[in-house]
Every structure is written in C-alpha cells, then in structure tokens.
A and B are shown apart, each in its own frame.
Chain A
Amino acid sequence: MKRHLLLPVIGLVVLVVSVLFYSNQSNNKNNSRDEVSSLIFETSDFYNNKLINENTLGEFYIVNFFASWCKPCLAEHPLLMEMKKKGVKIIGINFRDDEENFKEWINEHGNPFEYILRDDGTIAYEMGLIGVPETFFIVNKIIQKKIQGPLFYEDIENYL
C-alpha cells in the first residue's frame, strides 16, 4: 500500500515546494496602473517651459497621447477641439515625433491641448501605452478609463 502512495506524495511535495518557491514572484494581477505617472508633472511644457501643477488641474482632466505621423489621431482631433471649447483640460503628450513635423501639425490642425509635453517614449512606457492615439480619463487623480485608438463621441459624452 505504501508504494502506491509514495509517488503521488512526492509529486505533491514537489508541487507545494514549487508553489512556495514561486508564489513570491509577481502576484500582481492588476493589468494597468491606476495613477498617472509622476513623470507628467516632472516634464516641462513644450511652449511655456513650465511644469504642470497637478493641483491646478482640477477634479477631471484628460491625458491624450498623439503624434503627427499617426493618421487615426486626425480622426479624433475635431472631438478634442470640441472638448477644449467646453472647458475640459487636456494634457497632450507628443509621442516619439519629429519636432518640425509636430509644430507643423499643431499649426495646421489647431491646438486642443492645455499643456503639451514631448515624450521620447519614457512617459508612454510608464503609462503602459500600447499605441497612439490613446486617451486616459483622470478623475480625482485616479485613471478611470483608458481608450486605445481614436475617441468617439460615445466615449466622452458622460464627462462633458
């Protein structure tokens, strides 16, 4: 009888040991971070060279990643302009872009952003960016919603 039991017991012991051994390895099942990367408040604005003060942003603001080489960004651009008119504060983060192209793009299509940061990819990495455009809705300093790809009216109507 003992023989019959020994093998499963050994298997079980190995399993338990490996569970204990590896259980300290990342147990974090949280897929995305819920706070904005502090880098946003440590990088100075492209136009007026000042840091953004988180406290002046208010209860609700939006972080939008964009680039001049990204075609879907143009699709959501009118929507962003409209939001600006309604008084929503948008932080635009220019993701991996050529400076000249970026300036031209803003001049041509208009500037919907309260602040513009230029990012070589570091902020994007910290924020878990997958592609441009990507938009983060921040309420009370917590990321409430994340939209990958261009925005549609349905995405923002609750926030207006």
Chain B
Amino acid sequence: MISYLGNSFIYISLVLTILFYINFLKKVIPSTTSSLKLIYFINLAPFGLLVYAFSISDFTLLNVVENSYVDDPIFYKVTSAWGSHEGSILLWVFLINLFGVFFLYKNQTVEIHKNILFISTLFILYVIVSSNPFTYVEANENVLGLGLNPILQHFLFVIHPPTLFLGYIGLIIPFVISAHMLVSKNFSEKLFKEMLIWSKISWFFLTGGIVLGSYWAYSELGWGGWWFWDPVENISLIPWLLNTALIHSLQVSIKSNQLKLWSLNLGLYCFIASVFGTFLVRSNLIVSVHSFATDPLRGLFLIIIIAYLLAMTVRLNIRSISNFNEDSFNLISRESFLLLNNIFFICSALVVFIGTVYPLFSEMILKTSVSVGAPYYNFAFNLLLAPLILFMAFAPQINWGKHEKKDEQIPFIIIFSLFVCLVSYYFSNNFYFALSVFITVPLFLKSILALKNNFNKNISFYSQWLAHLSIGFFIIAAVYTEQFDYEENLLFEKESSNEIKLQNNRTAIIKNIKDEKFQNYQRVSVDLLISDGQKEKELSPSKNIYQPSGQVTNEVSTTNNLFSQYYATISTIESNKVGINLVYKPFINLLWLSAIMLIFAILLSVVKKR
C-alpha cells in the first residue's frame, strides 16, 4: 500500500513538473504561485510517507526491512528513515522542496522557482533510477528487520545528517538567485539581501551540522578526537568555507555596491560544493569511516547531475568574467579586507578539496597510494588561517570606502601579543600553542576595546563581534587540547589491586563491573573513580552488545573538570582483566562552548532582520 502510494506520488510530481514547464498547468490552475505550491507539497509527500512507514515498521517495504528492527525504540525507528542511502536521497528531495516552499513566501519570481524545481526533478529522477526506497516485498510474519547500524543509534547522529543536509540544501537558494541574476543581468539590492539571509540560514545549519557531527564523533567513536580530516568531514567543510566567504562578500555587494559578480559566482560554487560532497559520500569513491553506500551506478548518476550544474556554472562564469574589473576601491578600506577574507577562505576550501581528492588522483595518475591527513591540513591551515585571524582583529574597525584615521593601537597590540606569545612559549615550550596565542591575542584585545567604544550599537555589531570572538576562543581551545592532551592505558588484573597510580599524584580505582539488559541491547559497564587527593571524579565506560546483529559498540564516559574533561573507554574486558583507556582533554569544553557561541551569533544576525 505504502509502496504503491509512494511511487505514485513520485510519478505524479514528475508529470506535474513537466506540465508546469510546458505551461500546460496554467490552463488548470491559473495562479502560478498556487501551482508551484501544489508541486512543492506533492514533492514533500514521499519522504513523509517513508517516515510513516518506518514508524509503524511496515515490512512490505524492502528499505524498512533492511534498515529497521521491530524492537527498536520508536525514536530510532523514525530516524532509520534517513539512515539508508535511499532514505537520505529522498530526504534531499524533501528538503529542496521545503526550502522552495519557504522561499515562495518571500519571492514569487517564476524563473527562480523553475530552477529550484529543475534541480529537485533531477534528484527525483535519481530516486527513480537508482535508489527507490519504495521497493515492495511480500510481507512475512517472521521478518523482524535487519536493524539500524547500532553505532548510528545515538541522539546526535539522528539530528546530525538532517541538520547538515539543511545546510547543504539551504545553499540552493543563493545558487538559484545567483543564476537568475547572472542570466537576467538584473542586480537588484533586494535580491542580494535575500541571498544574504538565505546563505546565513544555510550557514547556521551547516555550522550546527558540522559541530554536531564532530561532537558525535568525539562522544561516540571513542578515540577522544573531535576532528579527523576524514573525507566525509572535509566535504562538509568545503561548502562551509565557501559559504563563509559568500556571507562576507555579500556585505560588500550590499553596502558598497561592489564585488557583485564576485559574490554571484561564489554563490554558484557553494551549492556545487555541497552536491559534490554528497556525490563523494554516496558514490563511495573515497572510502572513509562513514561510507555505507557501495553501488558505483549511484555515483554515475550523481556525476551527471554535477557535470550538468558545473557546466551551467562555468558558462555563467565565462559570461561574467569580462566584467570583473568594474570594481575599484581603496587599499585600506573595509571592502579590501573583506576581499582578503574571501581569498583566504576560498583558498582554504581549495586546499581541503585538493587534500581530499589527491589520494584518488595519486592512485589513478601517479600509481602510488598516499594518505593525506592531519599533518597536511594543519600545515595548510596554519599558513592560511594564521594571517586571516590576525586581519580579523583589525578589519572590523576599518571604515567602508575610505579609511582616513590611522590606528595608533596597532604597534602596541602587536608588541603586546608578541610578548604574551614569548611568555607562553617559555612556559609551554610548544610552538603551535605560542603561534595560536600570537594570532588570537590581538583579536581578544580589539574585541574588548570595540565593546567599550560601541556600547549602544545595533544587534548586527554584536553578532559580528560574537562570531569573531568565538573563532578566537575556538583556535585557542583547539590548539590547546590537541597539544596538551595525554592518554593512559590502565590495565587492572584480578589478582592484583584495583588501584593504579597515574601522573600528577592521581589514582584510578575500579569499583565494580555491571551487566545490564535493555530493550535492544546488553550493557557491560565498569565504574571507575579518579581522585587527585581532594576531588573525586566518577566514570563508567561501557560496552553495548546490540540485538539482532550482535555488534559491539564502545560507550564513552566523560566527566568534566571545569573546561577540561576525562574521557574513558573500555579497551579490553575479560574474566581476569579489565583494560581502560583514559584520555585527559584539557579545554575541550571551551571548544564546544565557542562553537555554540558561533551558532548563537549567526542566529542573532538572522533573527534581527525580521
């Protein structure tokens, strides 16, 4: 039944879209807006249906059988809907149309909506050709479902993909607006402002999605790392970096009427980057921790979509490149610093892109397999972001157009931060930490001074101030936890004592080992006590054994020590010995806090427009 309904919704929407394109729909529904609404809502239906099928465990759908288990909690049943490849592509279609509907309330330009519908149709075709979740199987009393991958059974993982997808697909609005403006050559300020709002909304979700994914990896994968430069993480970072650049260059386009073509072309590439990201994940071209689709045909169809979008984009680029040199402005002006920001962000995005595809290139062309990981990215980001952060401290105080006044604080601030940097190098003996101190101290100083001078300024000042400040906190926290974390492998044996001495006069004591049974898994947990003489911290890492697959997952246990965290996982558990992996992550909470600050800042700037 659901299989039948879902398929018919997909085909009806396809037919309606074609009718709309050949202007036939007009004869039935005179208002374009309502016919657009109709198509959007019909496109929303299949995904809703799939979620419903999952929630009632309708085992007449192959997709439900493969990806859910009858005894899973209802929450995880629903979320299995996008755990599979088919479901996530349908979610992609759903979100494109959701953005279409919301955009329809703001702007009724038919050409723009035609573009949105076109892209949505491409993905609907993709669903039909190679990943239809509504495949029917004969219902069977004995079928209990094969279960959702237990490592995905985590609250964060459930909201992480849709959030990231909202971010990716939110970029479709800047994309279609840019394409429309470049084609029609109508550079109205109203459209630029709309573009800015939508790219900020997308930025909000992208940042949220990346942070959630990172927090999920930190709290679930059990390695104590929060960013792995894994291809899947990288491809979510590329649209983020480009979108950040876009938000900054759009300010120039709106406030001083410059860099218009620059922003529009950038707007095109943001969405291309996010489709490309989906392609890389789905086609399984780059094998990584997260990949779960294995069918190369799926990749082929996505390649066609990307190639098409890219061809259109390049055509628009070539058309506008001859007009690029209409812009001119002063060297010391807000515009030029925002341009500089753009250069750095676009370069960083390119670096991430090259690092991600280089192993592929090397294997195919150079015939050697290499792995590109943290050392490369750390190097490239040091190179690109260090000057960017330095500029970020001073740029917000520079005037638009022409900056006359010389900033007398600059030499003082630089000398001061150099001094702090040397002091921190003396105490920590760590180059990276000292470098991060050197680049962030001007930002902190300038932020404090700016707050004093601009006490009654509007919300947009505060959102920008908070966003920039949070980047500073992020850099410090990230470098500190990476440079000064340490790990200890504790091995408790039955015959010997249950106490182990750690560094800095701390001791770890094992209290007891529990074995519990839950709805769809069994849990073995170890209670651990860490004391440093005065304070005692409790940890209880565990191992979960899931039914029906029998897969074992490591559950992390953490305990906070102000901004720092103890992080424990069970490495081995046998009848006569228990191994615990204990990691101390200093300042890790400041990192999450700065991420929350950043998200709050962008929320502030979106909300103020209403």
- A residues whose Cβ falls under 8 Å from a Cβ of B: 29, 31
Contact = CB atoms under 8 A, between A and B. Distances in A.
Interface string B111-122: 000000000000
B505 interface: no
Contacts of A29: 368
A29 B369 CA distance: 9
A1 to B, nearest CB: 19
A15 B510 CA distance: 56
Nearest to B368: A29
A29 B368 CA distance: 7
Contacts of A31: 368-369
Interface in B174-223: none
| Shortest Cβ-Cβ A-B pairs, 3 listed | A29-B368, A31-B368, A31-B369
Interface in B321-368: 368
A124 B368 CA distance: 23
| Size class of the contact patch on chain B | under 10
A31 B369 CA distance: 9
Nearest to A30: B368
Contacts of B369: 31
A49 B368 CA distance: 42
A38 B74 CA distance: 60
A31 B370 CA distance: 11
Interface in B406-421: none
A21 to B, nearest CB: 15
A53 B369 CA distance: 36
A4 to B, nearest CB: 16
A31 B368 CA distance: 8
A31 B362 CA distance: 14
Interface string B367-399: 011000000000000000000000000000000
A40 B368 CA distance: 29
Contacts of B368: 29, 31
A119 B66 CA distance: 43
Interface string B100-142: 0000000000000000000000000000000000000000000
3 contacts: A29-B368, A31-B368, A31-B369
A36 B368 CA distance: 23
B573 to A, nearest CB: 15
B579 to A, nearest CB: 15
A27 to B, nearest CB: 11
B418 to A, nearest CB: 26
A97 to B, nearest CB: 15
A84 B369 CA distance: 36
A102 to B, nearest CB: 18
B7 to A, nearest CB: 42
B491 to A, nearest CB: 16
Nearest to A29: B368
A31 B363 CA distance: 13
B574 to A, nearest CB: 12
